[in-house]
Amino acid sequence: MGFSSALQSRAAHEALIVRQDAELRLMETMKRSIQMKAKCDKEYAISLTAVAQQGLKIDRADEMQGSLISKSWRSYMDELDHQAKQFKFNAEQLEVVCDKLTHLSQDKRKARKAYQEEHAKIAARLNHLTDEVVRKKSEYQKHLEGYKALRTRFEENYIKAPSRSGRKLDDVRDKYQKACRKLHLTHNEYVLSITEAIEVEKDFRNVLLPGLLEHQQSVQESFILLWRNILQEAAQYGDLTADKYKEIQKRIDTVIGSINPTEEYGEFTEKYKTSPTTPLLFQFDETLIQDIPGKLQSSTLTVDNLTVDWLRNRLQELEGAVRDCQEKQMKMIEHVNGGSPVANGSIISNGSNTSNGIQSNKDSLCRQSKDLNALRCQEKQKQKLVDMIKCALNEVGCEELPSGCDDDLTLEQNFIENGYNNEQQQRSNSTSSPGLGIMNELMRRGGVLTLLRGRGRHFKRKSTPQPATPMTRSRQGRFNKLQPRSQSLGSLSISLSTNRPLYEEEWFHGVLPREEVVRLLNNDGDFLVRETIRNEESQIVLSVCWNGHKHFIVQTTGEGNFRFEGPPFASIQELIMHQYHSELPVTVKSGAILRRPVCRERWELSNDDVVLLERIGRGNFGDVYKAKLKSTKLDVAVKTCRMTLPDEQKRKFLQEGRILKQYDHPNIVKLIGICVQKQPIMIVMELVLGGSLLTYLRKNSNGLTTRQQMGMCRDAAAGMRYLESKNCIHRDLAARNCLVDLEHSVKISDFGMSREEEEYIVSDGMKQIPVKWTAPEALNFGKYTSLCDVWSYGILMWEIFSKGDTPYSGMTNSRARERIDTGYRMPTPKSTPEEMYRLMLQCWAADAESRPHFDEIYNVVDALILRLDNSH
């Protein structure tokens, strides 16, 4: 079925015109896309050329002389360059295709115009005759009525005239005859026009219109043929499977396949062939012990009361290492001989012991052999140390050990200092060792506090009372909160115990995240204690500012005591007080000394002070409750953080509290405190009884006045003006994130996405972005400024005046985004003042710099409200 028989109706003609318009638009779309592809291919060609040039920039290329892999790489890069040239050529050909598509589009427009003109011409002839028939019929009716009237008049006068003559009768007769003549002429013209119209209509329907449509179908199909050829040409120049690309890839495969591992280093080996290296000599430097009295001898182990336990422990470690090496060797030999694969440290560290598709069996066997040799060397090395230690212990015996460094007080004191940080060096084999006399003397003279463990006896160093200098008085004053009630500040020799739980200590900050802790520790020596959760296990951490920030996990002994590198204590409080008063580093490596405890800030509340009453909502991180503070009986709102959330989410949760704690404005929801002493983490805020602004708008849509709506806009502008002055970007301003009190006053809330920066660039993707409230530059480039909040404020105004409607209703996020980019803006809600809608449009300016700042917005809204009040 063709055009000539199927498309003769007026509706079909109009549909054909619409189809031609759609085809023209499709051509334009194709042209833009092909132009974009040509541009991308050109850019890719440039990038590929840069890759090839970069790949050929080999530093000190002479050092790779004779290398097959270097030669293959150069050929590979040359082929990439050829590939780039091919891409560039194809891109240029695509531009030619675009030109052809442009000419085709122009010709199609001309053909469309010619068809419309011809169709209008033949339709006009038929329309003209149709009108003419109607006109002739109208004239016919007119003359027929005149004729009938004159004939009646003539008949009346003829009957009345006695002599059938007279002037009056003659006049009537003449008029009657003229009317009769006109009637007959009109009758003939009407008949002729009908006859002509019948013929013209027949020709229009059977000859002219079918001929025009048949011609148009031929023209359309010829365009489609040309169009298809152009698309085939475009596809041809975008075909990556073309022979030219295949040839390039084939040459690349050939040069890479020419790499022969056995020939790669032939020329290199011949050029740098040398004699075997001279063995390195390791000798004991005897100058080290020239000035040390005692029995230290070069290259000889010293066994005395200071070293025997260390040697025994070292011997035990080495013997265990030897056994491990032997077991690994046995497992590896079993595997090589056909046993089941066994995961061992050597194989895991050096790669898989089975073929991974790249290594050959030969490579795998070489690797296993290498690993086995490495294990044998490790066993031999450690066995040598085992034999050496055993020999030294056997020579001295274990019953009576000589004391170490009897005549050197400095060395003894160094031993005490170092032994404090290593429990294994605190052991002494005999309570009768002469070395203990030196230690007791040190303790009598007020040496540093330490704890030495001997066989069956414990020795505790005591610090002698020191004069109360201004510095010590200052330290004692700062640490007064740390001091247990049963202990005096001047002595550590008595029992240290307290009945208070750890979370009641002022310097314990609960599960406060590390990022928040770092903000509190500013000077060297500042410290606090906190709790962290690792692998669902709670750990207590000491955080110290010392050349940066250091975090020490409190170690738990088998007896349930607590320690760092020094002696254990029955409670964490005692451990922390010991580190503070002794002024010893927490660990030797860190050197960190505790100087000033950082107590909880006023906004860090205790979890036990908050009584949750009822759930009133749900947030991104957990539930929202109405609650009461025990201390003040104040009703509050509490946001909770689910305990199962990862640390990153918990940090984001607390970010809102960190931002809010420094703000004080009637249109910003107030922070009362943060509970981080234990799980769950909670943010305590003022309770705004009206709830969410969005819910309020929808529930009270019938009762809201224009004055109240404008007041809500002014409140929001006042809050955002305050945030803008603090360089705070909210990033999620919307009616759902605002609260309203019982007096219709609006407060900005939900600072979970906020940032305290003049400009913020999103680097973690655009997940959970409120697209319909977000400015185009933020969606397209991830760039946020306060002017992005201005765009969101415009959406908030629209929500207020639409009484809670959804922006861009009926559109998906992607569709709304497309419409906005093309200049679409939402129409004004019903009953919105013209000035307020004009302000919305200013907030939605595509150019961010053209939008008003919040100070200007506030002044405009305030002035409009004032004018409204005065008019009433």
3-state helix, strand, coil in the chain (%, to 5): 55, 10, 35
Half-sphere exposure of 291 (CA within 13 A, CB side): 3
Query: Cα–Cα distance between 332 and 409 in angstroms, integer?
Result: 52
Listed residue (593, 591, 590, 599) closest to 580, CA to CA: 593
Query: Cα–Cα distance between 403 and 303 in angstroms, integer?
Result: 9
Tell me whether residue 620 is annotated as binding.
yes
Listed residue (844, 777, 772, 769) closest to 812, CA to CA: 772
Which residues, at least 6 apart from 647, have a Cβ–Cβ distance to it below 8 Å? 513, 533
Tell me whether residue 562 is annotated as binding.
no
Structural tokens at position 866 = 């004032």
The full length of the chain comes to 872
Catalytic residue among 371, 406, 732, 789: 732
Tell me whether residue 404 is annotated as binding.
no
Listed residue (465, 461, 489) closest to 476, CA to CA: 489
Which residues, at least 6 apart from 700, have a Cβ–Cβ distance to it below 8 Å? none
Q: Which helix (H) or strand (E) holds 685?
A: strand 682-686
Listed residue (396, 394, 416, 397) closest to 405, CA to CA: 416
Are 791 and 846 a contacting pair, CB within 8 Å?
Answer: no
Tell me whether residue 566 is annotated as binding.
no
Burial environment of residue 416 by CB neighbours within 10 A (0 to 12, 13 to 18, 19 or more): buried
Tell me whether residue 623 is annotated as binding.
yes
Query: Cα–Cα distance between 310 and 316 in angstroms, integer?
Result: 10
Tell me whether residue 781 is annotated as binding.
no
β-pairing, 451-454 vs 427-428, is: parallel
Q: Is the dihedral of CA 738, 741, 746, 747 positive or negative?
A: negative
Structural tokens at position 402 = 């000589």
Q: Indicate the residue type of 189.
A: E
Strands (E) in 519-577, as ranges, are: 526-534, 537-545, 549-553, 555-556, 562-563
Query: Cα–Cα distance between 861 and 720 in angstroms, integer?
Result: 13
Q: Indicate the residue type of 323.
A: R
Are 685 and 619 a contacting pair, CB within 8 Å?
Answer: no
Tell me whether residue 752 is annotated as binding.
no
Concerning whether 732 is annotated as a catalytic residue, the answer is yes
In the block, tokens 């919105």 appear at 832
Query: Cα–Cα distance between 82 and 614 in angstroms, integer?
Result: 72
Are 70 and 41 a contacting pair, CB within 8 Å?
Answer: no
Tell me whether residue 616 is annotated as binding.
yes
- Indicate the SS3 state at residue 729: strand
Per the annotation, binding residues are 616-624, 639
Per the annotation, binding residues for ATP are 616-624, 639
Q: Which residues are catalytic?
A: 732
